[in-house]
Amino acid sequence: MNSRCAPRENPDDVARSRTQRARAAWRHRRPHDGMELANESHGAGHRCAGPFMSTCEEHTQMNHAEMQFLSTEYPYKKQYGNFIGGKWVPPAGGEYFDNISPITGEPFTSIPRSRDADIEAALDAAHAAKTAWGRTSVTDRANVLMKIADRMEANLQRLAVAESIDNGKPLRETMAADIPLAIDHMRYFASAARAQEGGISEIDHDTVAYHFHEPLGVVGQIIPWNFPILMAIWKLAPALAAGNCVVLKPAEQTPASILVLLEVIGDLLPPGVLNVVNGFGLEAGKPLASNKRIAKIAFTGETTTGRLIMQYASQNLIPVTLELGGKSPNIFFADVLNADDSFFDKALEGFTMFALNQGEVCTCPSRALVEESIYERFMERALKRVAAIAQGHPLDSKTMIGAQASHEQLEKILSYIDLGKQEGAECLAGGERNAMDGELKNGYYIKPTVFKGHNKMRIFQEEIFGPVLSVTTFKNEEEALKIANDTLYGLGAGVWTRDGTRAYRFGRAIQAGRVWTNCYHAYPAHAAFGGYKQSGIGRENHKMMLDHYQQTKNMLVSYSDKPLGFF
């Protein structure tokens, strides 16, 4: 084991035993074992007002209940209901579960543990609303979406703080990316719906074929835990713009920020148009995904669960949109080091993108391919860049990487770090849990970790969903392409080169739905997003997404009085 990656220490033997069992379960599972249906250092110190904070003070701890250093109030209540038919209602069975903040590892609110009866109630409300909402003019629906975007913008910091507390991601990301992108997606689909056109075809002088876009009716949506609000909006914006009513189930790991969103925007939609039901995968997700009363199911999450979703949909012969896992290659050609300039600095930043959102991104560039001739020089600078990633309290504006979203995810990532060491990968950075102080001591923090190995190792082939980067080398373009495409997945990829022709050629040859060229982790509303191979079915974003939530009505109309002439 490389000395730079210290062995993990546990506080007591009991915890160590539990951890070893959990890691063993992950290490020895088959790559595609079935899982339950789910949606799937600098510590405390100086916290100075940045672009997201309103004061500059010394704090030794950040307590969720004491938000005085932010220009917003604490966003959460002690308990929530489901949002059904425009009202907050308790779960039918009266059960709740504690929602844990990954920042502290402690519960901060309680959430409905819903089951079949709650899903059916939400579907009742959606079906009661679908006819009127589906017949609403496109202009009126677009105006509602614009109002939603405006309301979100007016509450941007409240939503951003809620997202960071629920998910553990840094406030600087939720303020600058997650919530602004969600707002932009709402506005984009409001405009895209108004710009959508049908079609008229002349069959002959007296016969015309009309084509109309009509909503599917009531659709189900299951949201992941890595970008709760943004992923909800990715699905809600086109569905609502197209005239559908929605029953949405958030991930049980991060259900609360979406409920704050509903507190902000819920009154802008007619009752029943948007319904949110919380709960666990088998208890609430499966009853929604397999329900005969939905006309479509959209899911973002782990590939194994995506297979189950597709099975449920096939029983009801309904369309699916699946945005699933990835193991994205990030390829650095030798010419990035032709000069020590701003482009090279940008490439180094591209290398560190594996740590964005704590690596909990389906397109995480978790495989770095570096041309052999520059490996030593490139990695010397790249590892310094990784070492400069500041980990701390997510509500600190200086924090670059926060906490993993759940204890389960923390253990999964640590199990893969152990696996990488056992496989013989060289640990170049990190490789352990980050022991934080004060309020953060029980939070779910992992140091950004870099391994060097080869592409046949499991840490190169399996989605870890954490701040773990696996680095290998290539000799030429042919080998780079072979390594890049040697994966079950095909969601994203990155290409870094000063040669525009090579960049285009590689972009076309890589088997991935999105290829970033000399950039990474950009998610504009008007760029189609989706995967090849086992990374999913269908696309999200872009105006083409409206088609996923519509069906085409053709009317073939004769304006002639003449007989047809058949009988």
Q: Is 411 a catalytic residue?
A: no
- In this structure, what DSSP letter does residue 442 have? T
Q: Can you tell me the distance from the alpha carbon of 443 to that of 407, in angstroms, rounded to the nearest whole number? A: 8
The number of C-alpha atoms within 13 Å of 398 and in the hemisphere containing its C-beta is 13
Task: Give the H/E segment covering residue 411.
Answer: helix 407-422
- Rounded to 5°, angle at Cα 357 from 181 and 480: 100
Burial annotation 94-114 (CB, 10 A radius, 16+ → b, else e): eebbebbbbbbbeebbbbbbb
Beta bridge partners of 426: 452
- Residues composing the chain: 567
Is the sign of the CA dihedral 465, 470, 475, 479 positive or negative? negative
Q: Can you tell me the distance from the alpha carbon of 219 to that of 318, in angstroms, rounded to the nearest whole number? A: 10
Q: Are 164 and 75 in contact (CB under 8 A)?
A: no
What are 537's two structure tokens? 């079915």
Alpha helices of 486-526 — where are they, by DSSP H? 500-509
- Of 165, 39, 157, 36, the C-alpha closest to 100 is 165
Q: Are 230 and 306 in contact (CB under 8 A)?
A: no
Active-site choice (40, 263, 302, 323):
323
Beta strands across the sheet bearing 550-558: 199-204, 207-215, 550-558
Q: Can you tell me the distance from the alpha carbon of 453 to that of 179, in angstroms, rounded to the nearest whole number? A: 37
- Of 348, 333, 341, 424, the C-alpha closest to 379 is 348
Task: Give the H/E segment covering residue 369.
Answer: strand 367-371
Catalytic residues: 323
